[in-house]
């Protein structure tokens, strides 16, 4: 049976004292059992401090992005070995915001092109993370226009196939997928739980076709997109949803604790 996984994506929020205070409050509020795994993904600048604060607890630390080379003249980039050295166990890759696909646009539309993630770069990042024994959480999802055009499944299949090109099934014991409909990220909208489960089931079926059923059944598929304490229990009760990738609500220790405990 797949163990539920709940991951908090803090995005570009909190400086180190605030980050440490948040996880200290979270540790006090949740008694994480073996029934659920919990992780938080702070900004790069707070990873070390958060990892130290969580030392000896069952809450893992992850990153929000990675570069695919181990080292080199790549100004501003952070590699997988650096993340592991800082205490990370996992890393988000292919988030819609790094792809320049925003549910809620908070920058000038002309600047969207600076977010240049592609299926090819996601693929390279996944391979780098797996090589260094860090768990990739691959984000996939459709925009509102793609959903309204009836292209949800095709878009997600292309993202899966591109992201996992050349990745052997033997490497996927340390791998998760997060379905995040772009139109639900940061907008307050949430995908209907039955539809979210249907898409997660379609993702598992696609993975079974790419590899085999045993491999697909072992991969955890999360839902993300305006997950909060008031809707998490219904979402996590769906048969094909194995937890959540939580954005804004993960910055509130009370709400995030409610979400975590609803997965137990």
CA nearest to 235, candidates 207, 263, 256: 263
Going by DSSP bridges, is the β-strand pair 220-224/243-246 parallel, antiparallel, or unpaired? parallel
* Catalytic choice (24, 37, 95, 161): 95
Q: What would the two tokens of residue 9 be?
A: 């994506």
Three-class secondary structure of residue 167 per DSSP? coil
95 a catalytic residue: yes
d(CA 185, CA 247): 8
Buried b / exposed e over 51-70, threshold 16 CB at 10 Å, is: bebbeeeebbbbbbbbbbee
* Catalytic choice (97, 148, 180, 234): 180
CA 10 to chain centre: 11
95 within 8 A of 141, measured Cβ to Cβ = no
193 within 8 A of 234, measured Cβ to Cβ = yes
132 a catalytic residue: no
29 within 8 A of 260, measured Cβ to Cβ = no
Which positions are catalytic? Answer: 95, 180
């Amino acid at each position: 049976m797949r163990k539920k996984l709940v991951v908090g994506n803090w995005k570009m929020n909190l400086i180190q004292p605030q980050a440490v205070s948040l996880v200290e409050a979270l540790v006090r509020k949740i008694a994480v059992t073996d029934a659920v795994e919990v992780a938080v993904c702070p900004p790069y600048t707070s990873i070390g401090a958060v990892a130290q604060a969580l030392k000896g607890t069952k809450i893992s630390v992850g990153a929000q992005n990675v570069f695919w080379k181990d080292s080199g003249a790549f100004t501003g980039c952070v590699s997988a070995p650096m993340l592991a050295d800082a205490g990370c166990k996992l890393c988000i890759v292919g988030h819609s915001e790094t792809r320049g696909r925003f549910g809620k646009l908070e920058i000038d539309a002309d600047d969207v092109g600076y977010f240049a993630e592609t299926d090819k770069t996601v693929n390279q990042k996944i391979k780098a993370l797996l090589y260094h024994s860090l768990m990739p959480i691959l984000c996939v999802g459709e925009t509102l226009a793609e959903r309204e055009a009836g292209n949800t499944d095709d878009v997600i299949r292309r993202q899966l196939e591109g992201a996992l090109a050349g990745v052997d099934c033997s490497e996927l014991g340390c791998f998760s997928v997060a379905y995040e409909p772009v139109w639900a990220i940061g907008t307050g909208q949430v995908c209907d739980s039955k539809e979210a489960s249907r898409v997660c089931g379609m993702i598992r079926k696609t993975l079974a076709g790419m590899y085999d059923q045993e491999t697909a059944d072992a991969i955890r598929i999360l839902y993300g997109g305006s997950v909060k304490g008031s809707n998490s229990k219904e979402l996590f009760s769906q048969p094909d949803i194995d937890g959540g990738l939580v954005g804004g609500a993960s910055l509130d220790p009370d709400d995030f604790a409610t979400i975590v405990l609803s997965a137990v």
